[in-house]
A and B are shown apart, each in its own frame.
Chain A
Amino acid sequence: MTSGRKQGLFIILATFLISLLVTLMPLPDWARPFRPQWYTLVLIYWAMAHPERIGVGSAWLLGLVVDVMTESLPGQHALTLSLVAYIVVKLHAQIRVFPLWQQSVTVMALLFLEPLIATWAMGITHQPPPPAPYWFTPVIGMLLWPWIFIILRDVRRRFQTN
């Protein structure tokens, strides 16, 4: 089944790529602070569905790409995403069987790690603390999770990514 595995990896990479693209997509100014953490959501899904393929290592690589892509402090996203992936891989068996709403709440808790570490990074680089909407993005992520989950589950089933 090597060709199937390869195809699966390809699909996973493609979803990550799309999530990165929508992260870069220019938004009107008022909407910018509310941009959901697309790549984190996608990462959480794949780490939960295929913890044996997508783990801390791939999360770290993804984080590096995000850092370079958005010109943030090198290592900031790498650290956050590795942490998120670690927790998800540890708990994947539990999160998987949660009902969807409970999953969403867990996801929100995970998403909070990112602004948390980012504020810390801003602190050590002497930047002013971010405005209030900054803490709101995980909530948007939570609301989006059911849709992300359903879409990616269908993708996973359609393409048999295991």
Chain B
Amino acid sequence: MMFGGHKQKHLKAIHHSLTLVVYPLHVLANTPMFVSNWMVETFSTNSRLQEENDRLKEDNLKLQAQQQKLVSLENENIRLRDLLESSLKVKDRVLIAELIAVDLDPYKHQVLINKGGNSGAFEGQPVLDANAVMGQVTNVTPYTSTVLMITDARHSLPVQILRTGQRAIAVGTGNINRLQIPHLPNNADIKTGDLLVTSGLGGRFPPGYPVATVTDISRVEGKAFIDITATPNARLDHTREVLLVWTVNTPKPPQPDTPEPKQDSEQPELSELPEQEVVQ
């Protein structure tokens, strides 16, 4: 069963019915956190709320200012794309989901969120937090879904160095604040502080979302590849809210039955202008 279930998916049905049995357990385990949050919200003082309100207003103003710039950039981008006769999907639809406060297997980087198939989540769906890419949905039940985070050792995603456009793969290490970028040749142009964004190759993640920042590079003479580590920009172990993303009119997500997205780069959409599509 272990071997079979790992590779093939014919046990899906059993797994699904069992998740429904387990759902009340998850909800029940979440209750203390839910209640304490509710208490904090209900009994917090007026001044604190006022303070928070002010801060949020300020944030909102800043974001709106950025948004203004974004609209014009977006239009410009579409115009340029038209000139190049390549199509573009800039618009993504998002849905906010909340984490369910339960501890899953402590040695896998997975979280449970409170939106599932009934809200339209699907396997392989990209998940973001406020800053960057967080992971992807690996298991969907009607009311919950499991998110595999980008730092899990089984996860890797296609990225691009924002500065140079160099494509690479960001592989999870099993360490919550480290990603590895293997197979970059020793003379590749990469510096610490470089921002990695999703490249959109493989068709699972929409292009242009920030993923991680390069923190450490060691070039060893005589080795073919550089050892590169990067820190995810998403606050993987702190966030309580995540965003589920639907890319508007994406081609159907490729083979939802491959759980490990070791992307073989089939290229549904060649995007050669990464710098201009960063949504932030």
> A residues touching B (Cβ–Cβ < 8 Å)?
17, 20-21, 23-27, 29, 32-33, 35, 64-65, 68-76, 78-79, 118, 121-122, 124-128, 130, 134
Bound: A32/B105 CA distance, A: 10
- CB neighbours (8 Å) of B139 from chain A are 71
Residue B188 lies at the interface, judged by CB distance under 8 Å to chain A = no
Q: Which listed residue, B2, B21, B112, B153, touches A73 by the CB 8 Å rule?
A: B2
- 16 A-B pairs with CB atoms under 8 Å apart are A20-B25, A29-B237, A65-B21, A65-B22, A68-B19, A70-B105, A71-B139, A73-B6, A75-B1, A75-B5, A76-B2, A118-B107, A125-B154, A127-B108, A128-B174, A134-B107
Interface residues of B in 2-50 (CB under 8 A from A): 2-3, 5-6, 11, 15, 18-19, 21-22, 25-26, 28-29, 32-33
- CB neighbours (8 Å) of A33 from chain B are 106
Bound: A118/B106 CA distance, A: 12
Interface residues of B in 134-154 (CB under 8 A from A): 139, 146, 153-154
Q: Which of B52-60, B96-104, B215-223, B244-252 contacts A (4 or more CB under 8 A)?
A: B96-104
- CB neighbours (8 Å) of B11 from chain A are 74
Interface residues of B in 141-176 (CB under 8 A from A): 146, 153-154, 173-174
- CB neighbours (8 Å) of B1 from chain A are 74-75, 78-79
Contact, CB under 8 Å: A69 / B26: yes
The answer to whether residues A124 and B29 also contact, given A35-B106, A68-B15, A70-B104 and a CB cut-off of 8 A, is no
Question: How many residues of chain B get a CB closer than 8 Å to chain A's CBs?
Answer: 34
Smallest Cβ distance from A27 to chain B, in angstroms?
A: 6
The answer to whether residues A71 and B2 also contact, given A35-B103, A65-B21 and a CB cut-off of 8 A, is no
Given contacts A73-B2, A125-B154, A127-B107, 20 further A-B contacts (CB under 8 A): A17-B25, A21-B29, A24-B29, A24-B102, A25-B103, A26-B29, A26-B33, A32-B106, A35-B103, A65-B18, A68-B19, A69-B26, A73-B5, A75-B1, A78-B1, A127-B153, A127-B154, A128-B153, A128-B173, A128-B174
The answer to whether residues A124 and B3 also contact, given A64-B18, A68-B22 and a CB cut-off of 8 A, is yes
Bound: A64/B153 CA distance, A: 23
- CB neighbours (8 Å) of A125 from chain B are 6, 154
Bound: A143/B154 CA distance, A: 34
> B residues touching A (Cβ–Cβ < 8 Å)?
1-3, 5-6, 11, 15, 18-19, 21-22, 25-26, 28-29, 32-33, 101-108, 110, 112, 139, 146, 153-154, 173-174, 237
- CB neighbours (8 Å) of A127 from chain B are 107-108, 153-154, 174
- CB neighbours (8 Å) of B106 from chain A are 32-33, 35
Contact, CB under 8 Å: B103 / A26: yes
Contact, CB under 8 Å: B33 / A68: no
- A118: nearest residue on chain B (CB-CB)? B107
Contact, CB under 8 Å: A24 / B153: no
Smallest Cβ distance from B260 to chain A, in angstroms?
A: 9
Bound: A124/B153 CA distance, A: 13
Smallest Cβ distance from B14 to chain A, in angstroms?
A: 8
- CB neighbours (8 Å) of B112 from chain A are 71
Smallest Cβ distance from A149 to chain B, in angstroms?
A: 25
- CB neighbours (8 Å) of A23 from chain B are 103
Smallest Cβ distance from A78 to chain B, in angstroms?
A: 7
Bound: A70/B3 CA distance, A: 18
Which 8 pairs between the two chains have the least Cβ-Cβ distance? Answer: A24-B29, A75-B1, A75-B2, A74-B5, A68-B18, A24-B102, A128-B174, A72-B105
Bound: A151/B120 CA distance, A: 45
- CB neighbours (8 Å) of B153 from chain A are 126-128
